[in-house]
Every structure is written in structure tokens, then in C-alpha cells.
Amino acid sequence: MGKKLQRGALLALLGEPLYKTTNIEDAYSYIVQVKDEEFNDWIFTAYEGPSGPAIGYKGEEDEGVEQAAHALLDELARVIPGDFEEILICEDLGNTITYGCKDGVCYYNEEIGDALFEESSELGEEL
């Protein structure tokens, strides 16, 4: 599940995240409780961090954790993504990412910043 699709599915399923920022390495976070038919429950964090969208779990490992995580991902895959548009900044490179979903169609655009080129030209001067 891609960056834009996961965020749109979470938005459609759960509403707005607990928090959101314009920093691509800490874009948003949700706390999600997953219960099974026997009323066992697991608490997950759905977020977008430095390596992209992720589902995290910090509880004790047991037989149901993996099944609960898959159930959450399956539910997100079934949901039509909610409409949103966000602009994120990659502070390391200066890139600007605009992504979102509109009427179930998701999009992504990245404008390359000049931080990488500035650093490269500085290295060239040193050589």
C-alpha cells in the first residue's frame, strides 16, 4: 500500500490523524485498536516516518499480533481513500512533495529542491 493510498484509507476509516506536520519524516500519526472475535485487542500506530508509511506495534508479541496487523492492512485495502491534499517538505534535500486523493484517485508530485545541487557544487569547489 503506497504513501498516498494508506493516508487516504486511514482518513476515510478513522478521520483526521492525532497530529500531522509538513515534515516528510513525521507526517502524521494514528493510534488504532484492533479487536478479534474473542475480544482480544492490540494497539497499533499507523504513521508516516523517514522510510514512508508504516504500522508499528510495541506490545508483547503473541500469536495474534501478526493476524491483527494483517486484518488492519486488509481493512485499509478495502476502503476507498478519503479526499485530502498535503504538502510535505524533505528538509534534508529541500524537496517539496504534494500528494493526496480526490474521488478515489490518488496522486503524487515531487519538486526537487536545490539543497543536493548546492552541496554537490560545494564539493566540486573543494576538489
Share of the chain above pLDDT 90, in %: 69
pLDDT surpasses 60 at 120: no
CA 1 to CA 44: how far, in whole Å? Answer: 17
42/113: higher pLDDT: 42
Distances (CA, A) of 100 to 2, 59, 105, 117: 11, 31, 8, 28
| pLDDT computed for residue 27 by the predictor | 96
For the chain, what is the domain count?
1
CA-CA distance, 76 to 97, in Å (whole number)? 23
For the whole model, what pTM was predicted? 0.81
Q: Which three cell numbers stand for residue 98?
A: 504534494
pLDDT 10s digits, 60-109: 778 889 899 999 999 999 999 999 999 999 988 889 999 999 999 999 99
Ordered strands of the 105-111 beta sheet: 84-90, 95-102, 105-111
Q: Where are the alpha helices (DSSP H) in the chain?
A: 3-14, 63-78, 115-126
* pLDDT value for 122: 53
Domain interval for residue 73: 3-126
Q: Share the mean pLDDT of the chain.
A: 87
Q: How many percent of the chain have pLDDT more than 70?
A: 88
| Across 42-69, average pLDDT | 89
